[in-house]
Amino acid sequence: MTVFERFIRSKEYKTITGKATMAFQFYLKEERLNSGGSINRKIYTLRSYSKYLRIEDVPHADQLPFFDVLKIRQGYRNRPSALTVFQVKELLEHIDRNTILGLRDYAVYALMYQTGLRVGEVHALDLDSIDFDNKQITVMGKGQKIRQLHLTREVCLILYEYLAVREFFFKSKSSPALFISKKGNRLAIRTIEDNMKKLLKKVKFTVPFNVTCHTLRHSFASHLNDKDVDILVIQSLLGHASTRSTEPYIHPSMERIRAAMEKLPGVIYMKKLLKEGVLKLPFQNNKPRRL
């Protein structure tokens, strides 16, 4: 609402018309570089406000053009970038588990990868969120939606290892938070993100995208998809309200694409010809030159 108000005032529109609203959409796209989804959400907010004004019988509220403006068409949604299983393993192996802070950070990132939790969801976990007897964790997701996830034996052992040293943190006995800082506060989202940046400086692998805490969630979902887990199951684990939010995760990994390509009849036939010597490629006859 504030953005729209500033725009209307800056352009000195006397009345809110369809032309003014479309100009606002263009402004969001060209000057604020908003995505189609972001622009549509702002228009939806204006529509909701328009409904409220009608309910309150505000004069001329029924003449507001927000419902007449078309949605912005959204572009193709790229698959979220994910690490390979080996890259995730290398990342976790670079955490020093000989310190209590290292044990805490290892538990944080291992839990994010093994359960697909958002950084905010990890931040909000309490001690009573963990049910070791039933091997479950209760998570408060977006929109205050609660979901329960299964904990593997490996994750339980990692959490046991951390909880064994949690008492050595300042004010640990008075804090309900599962993960706490050196000062005894609930471990902040910013701290989790900053520690991830420090960790990434230690690893040897490089990837063509920016790795963040959320990348672990992407990796969790992508690896499940590679194991042919049903999209509805992945949707439930991620806490998505719709499969549309889960769809970006169901694209096959490069490993699966390569494996599929190797099974193509044409590829198999070419390999057979090469092996039998029937077919020879030009570079096979090239001999290294003497210097």
Looking at residue 252, its pLDDT comes to 61
Read off φ and ψ for residue 68, nearest 5 degrees: -90, -10
113 belongs to the catalytic site: no
Determine which one of 42, 123, 217, 223 is catalytic: 217
Contact 183/170 with Cβ under 8 angstroms?
yes
Alpha-carbon span 247 to 244, nearest angstrom: 5
Rounded to an integer, what is the distance from CA 82 to the centroid of its chain? 9
Determine which one of 118, 123, 218, 223 is catalytic: 118
249 belongs to the catalytic site: yes
3-state secondary structure of 207: coil
Alpha-carbon span 285 to 287, nearest angstrom: 6
For the domain 85-250, what is the CATH superfamily, name and number? Answer: Intergrase catalytic core (1.10.443.10)
- In this structure, is the dihedral angle defined by the CA atoms of residues 109, 115, 119 and 124, taken in order, positive or negative? negative
Determine which one of 32, 142, 197, 271 is catalytic: 142
Which value, in Å, is the radius of gyration of the alpha carbons in the chain?
26
Q: What is the largest CA-CA distance in the chain?
A: 91
pTM of structure = 0.65
Cα 75 to Cα 37, 72, 78, 80, 130, distances in angstroms: 9, 9, 9, 15, 40
240 belongs to the catalytic site: yes
Domain with CATH 1.10.443.10 in the chain: 85-250
Determine which one of 29, 97, 214, 251 is catalytic: 214
Looking at residue 267, its pLDDT comes to 66
Looking at residue 89, its pLDDT comes to 95
Can you list the alpha helix ranges (DSSP code H) found in the chain?
2-10, 18-30, 36-55, 85-93, 100-115, 119-123, 153-166, 189-200, 213-226, 231-238, 243-246, 254-262, 265-276
198 belongs to the catalytic site: no
Alpha-carbon span 22 to 71, nearest angstrom: 10
Question: What burial class does residue 162 get, using C-beta atoms within 10 Å of its C-beta: 0-12 exposed, 13-18 middle, 19+ buried?
Answer: buried
Tokens of 5: 């108000």
Contact 129/178 with Cβ under 8 angstroms?
yes
How would you write the pLDDT of the chain (291 residues) with one tens digit per residue? 788 888 888 888 888 888 888 888 888 877 777 777 788 888 888 888 888 888 888 888 788 887 777 777 665 455 568 899 999 999 999 999 999 999 999 999 999 999 999 999 999 999 999 999 999 999 998 888 899 999 999 999 999 999 999 999 999 999 999 999 999 999 999 999 999 999 999 998 888 888 999 999 989 988 898 888 887 888 888 888 777 777 776 666 666 666 767 777 776 767 777 777 766 666 555 555 554
Contact 234/80 with Cβ under 8 angstroms?
no
